[in-house]
Structure 1
Amino acid sequence: MGRRPSGRVTVRQVAAASGYSVGTVSRALSGHPAVAPATRDEVLALAARLGAPVPARASAASGRDPGAPVLVRCPYVLDDYFGRVVTAAVESLAVHGRRAVLDTGEAARERPVVAGLAGDRGLAGAVLVLPPEPVRQLEALRAGGFPFVVVDPMAALPADVPSVSSAHLTSARALTAHLLELGHRRIGVVGGPTEWLASRSRLAGHASALADAGLLPDPSLRRSVRPTADDGYAAACDLLDAPGPGGPPTAIVAFNDKVASGVLRAAAERGLAVPGDLAVTGFDDLDLARSTVPALTTARQPLEEMGRMAVSLLLRLVARQAVDALHVSLATELVVRGSTAPPPSSPK
């Protein structure tokens, strides 16, 4: 096999000689836990024979105690959303005889934990729930050979960074399609932060459902807020009090159940009946969705399963088993309750 004039052996050359893909060779050389030990050893041996330098990090994962505890990091308040994910992850670890080290609460965001995980030999791996760290830190952690799984990523991740999430696009598409089937055409959207992957995916799902009905999204009917009840209330007030050229919305799709509860409050203050005058949908199916009046139509996220699936995937990575699907997207369920009905002008 020929070499470059510099004498440096490339990843592509090792891949060509070994018969493995460039991605597999790259992961083997970086010590990525998704590569089976036998494959990694074969690639490293061939690379050494060809004269390629083998990075020290390629063997880093093998020096980690596979029986060490697992970090479960969720730098948010453990409410009825995050609490369900974290609890399921901890319980699943216990079923597998694993101890969990918890790093939770808003104060955890100020601690630079992720950057130092690759050198922490006291941990077998980590479950990172909605990590606020930039993607480049997660890429560096992956390159360092530390096993981890991201739950509900905040930003789009590279193909070789393991993650578990819900099917946000198809879920949002189903919610908007439900409203369209009821006869709604002016549908407001109170979405989440625009930089969040979930927000962008749900907006895409909403637009897809509108397109199927021959409609275009109306920017005047869209607001982006933090996912809180108060922000949902403020956005709904704005939508209902300052309608666009086509008038106020007859339905509002909220980013989550908390935002939807704020929308319900805004409607009640204006004497609007839900669902008679305004249909409202949420997302998540928290306990709150069944406690509002009326109860919310929403998309049920499999929050507990997200925690369990993350642990299952992580333990396979810790055991250095080959994993073909590193990005797992779990289906949601459309739950129709009393907050949606045809618009006032539609025949009953």
Structure 2
Amino acid sequence: MPRTGSTAGPTLAVVAREAGVSVPTASKVVNGRDDVAPETRRRVTEVLDRLGYVRRRGGPPKPHGMVDLVLASSPGGGAEGAAVVHEVERAAHAEGLEVVVSAGRHLGRDRLDRLAARGTAGVLFHGDAPSAAQRAWLARHRVPYVLVDPWAEPPRGTGWVGAADRGGGRAAVAHLLALGHERIAVLAADAPGRAGAGWLAGWREAVAGAGLPERAAYERRVGAAEPEPCGARLRTLELLALPEPPTAVCVESDAWVPGVYGALAERGLRVPDDMAVVGCGDLPEARWAVPGLTTVRRPVAEMAGAALALLARLASGGAADGLPVELETELVVRSSTAPPGGSSPRAGSAGAGGQR
């Protein structure tokens, strides 16, 4: 569906590019908004007239200063999804954009058609990438899109912003090695996924790089159908039943940690004296846990902000240079890690390589 007020002529993105402004700014001029600098208004108006842009007449103005955020339809992304919404709305406000939020499972053909009808500037997809049919629709309607923290490997040529999870897995193991641990296990999702694959690969690389013996029994998978804490609890109990159980475990998601803590408590064991625990995400669970969870912080807010900035650039006719973007993770040390059989270090202490 055309993005201007007629079936022919330049799009608003073309006008914005020619005038050297963002699509939302060009939209404000078209719709008679007064929050535009006089010189900017003059420049945009000249381009509108020169290119023959046909303004929409009759009815309410078309909301070109709007983007859509499609949240993941899969379970388990509640806390991260809330952070994504908050940061996208904050970053969009700074760009002069408004945000419409919807669930991925509801994004059918009728919803896509309505999305075009109200003149969205672009779409952010959190977690789930659009299907092949959705990508074809977006291309046909010239609607740019960007992925925020995609779970699966995105299609080639797609713009996306994610976290460097492989480095996060390595940092978790490096922290435990520095404390003196040699029997280090991992809990990872038993499903394909970009973030989980990176976390597991980082753990494997760090363990192998330290020259530790290969222990297949220390690699445990949590099924996608298992409730998050329950699956982690069962895998932790399996680790504890081994003839030589691990002294530390790296957990792919902070949301699983209550299950890990629960399993240890069932066996009369304590964190970190009997087992050190490192999570991933720095979700609220990490701060609520007792003891406080040492975790690898995934920069959710920064990912959302960077993705919105990229989408605004694409909507203005800019190029998707330097893609994809992977933002660095950060180790946050709290009280759930200590030397084997030792006492917990001071929470928040700094380590090498930018850890805190």
Q: Return the offset for 1:115.
A: 9.4
What SS does the aligned partner of 2:261 have?
A: helix
Deviates more, 1:261-270 or 1:66-75: 66-75
1:248-296 CA-partner distances (Å, limit 9, x unpaired): 1111111111112210111111111111110111111122212211111
Which residue of structure 1 lines up, in the alignment, with residue 239 of structure 2?
A: 239
Which residue of structure 2 lines up, in the alignment, with residue 170 of structure 1?
A: 167
Q: Return the offset for 1:95.
A: 2.1
Which residue of structure 2 lines up, in the alignment, with residue 103 of structure 1?
A: 102
Q: Out of 166, 181, 184, which is 1:184 matched to?
A: 181
Equivalent pair of 1:128/1:150 in contact (CA under 8 Å): yes
Equivalent pair of 2:273/2:342 in contact (CA under 8 Å): no
The answer for unaligned runs of 5 or more in structure 1 is 1-32, 39-64
> 1:329 is aligned with what amino acid?
E
Equivalent pair of 1:207/1:216 in contact (CA under 8 Å): no
1:149-185 CA-partner distances (Å, limit 9, x unpaired): 1011121123410001111000111001111222222
Which residue of structure 1 lines up, in the alignment, with residue 318 of structure 2?
A: 321
What SS does the aligned partner of 1:252 have?
A: strand
> 1:85 is aligned with what amino acid?
V
**Cα distance in 1, alignment partners of residues 296 and 246 from structure 2:** 20
1:178-225 CA-partner distances (Å, limit 9, x unpaired): 112222222111112431111111111011111210135422112222
Which residue of structure 1 lines up, in the alignment, with residue 31 of structure 2?
A: none
Pair 263,119 (structure 1): closer, same or farther in 2 beyond 3 Å: closer
Q: Return the offset for 1:113.
A: 5.7
Equivalent pair of 2:72/2:81 in contact (CA under 8 Å): no
**Cα distance in 2, alignment partners of residues 209 and 280 from structure 1:** 16
Deviates more, 1:254-263 or 1:165-174: 254-263
After TM superposition, the score normalised by the length of structure 2 is 0.71
Which residue of structure 1 lines up, in the alignment, with residue 262 of structure 2?
A: 265
**Cα distance in 2, alignment partners of residues 343 and 319 from structure 1:** 55
| Percent identity between the two aligned chains | 36
Q: Out of 242, 245, 249, which is 2:246 matched to?
A: 249
**Cα distance in 2, alignment partners of residues 198 and 190 from structure 1:** 13
Which residue of structure 2 lines up, in the alignment, with residue 60 of structure 1?
A: none
RMSD of aligned C-alpha atoms? 3.0
Which residue of structure 2 lines up, in the alignment, with residue 131 of structure 1?
A: 128
Which residue of structure 1 lines up, in the alignment, with residue 38 of structure 2?
A: none
Q: Return the offset for 1:130.
A: 0.2
Pair 281,99 (structure 1): closer, same or farther in 2 beyond 3 Å: same
Pair 230,118 (structure 1): closer, same or farther in 2 beyond 3 Å: same
Pair 259,117 (structure 1): closer, same or farther in 2 beyond 3 Å: farther
Equivalent pair of 2:128/2:152 in contact (CA under 8 Å): no
Q: Return the offset for 1:138.
A: 6.3
Q: Out of 70, 87, 100, which is 1:73 matched to?
A: 70
Q: Return the offset for 1:121.
A: 4.4
Which residue of structure 2 lines up, in the alignment, with residue 228 of structure 1?
A: 228
Which residue of structure 1 lines up, in the alignment, with residue 336 of structure 2?
A: 339
Which residue of structure 2 lines up, in the alignment, with residue 214 of structure 1?
A: 211
Q: Return the offset for 1:147.
A: 0.5
Equivalent pair of 1:191/1:254 in contact (CA under 8 Å): yes
Equivalent pair of 1:257/1:289 in contact (CA under 8 Å): yes
Q: Return the offset for 1:79.
A: 2.9
Pair 114,133 (structure 1): closer, same or farther in 2 beyond 3 Å: farther
> 2:81 is aligned with what amino acid?
F
The answer for unaligned runs of 5 or more in structure 2 is 1-12, 19-61, 346-356
What SS does the aligned partner of 1:282 have?
A: strand
Pair 345,291 (structure 1): closer, same or farther in 2 beyond 3 Å: closer
Which residue of structure 1 lines up, in the alignment, with residue 305 of structure 2?
A: 308
> 2:191 is aligned with what amino acid?
T
What SS does the aligned partner of 1:283 have?
A: strand
What SS does the aligned partner of 1:253 have?
A: strand
**Cα distance in 1, alignment partners of residues 189 and 287 from structure 2:** 21
**Cα distance in 1, alignment partners of residues 213 and 145 from structure 2:** 40
Equivalent pair of 1:139/1:161 in contact (CA under 8 Å): no
1:233-257 CA-partner distances (Å, limit 9, x unpaired): 122122223x1xx611111111111
Equivalent pair of 2:88/2:308 in contact (CA under 8 Å): yes
Q: Does 1:202 align with 2:217?
A: no
What SS does the aligned partner of 1:309 have?
A: helix
**Cα distance in 2, alignment partners of residues 152 and 219 from structure 1:** 29
Deviates more, 1:142-151 or 1:85-94: 142-151
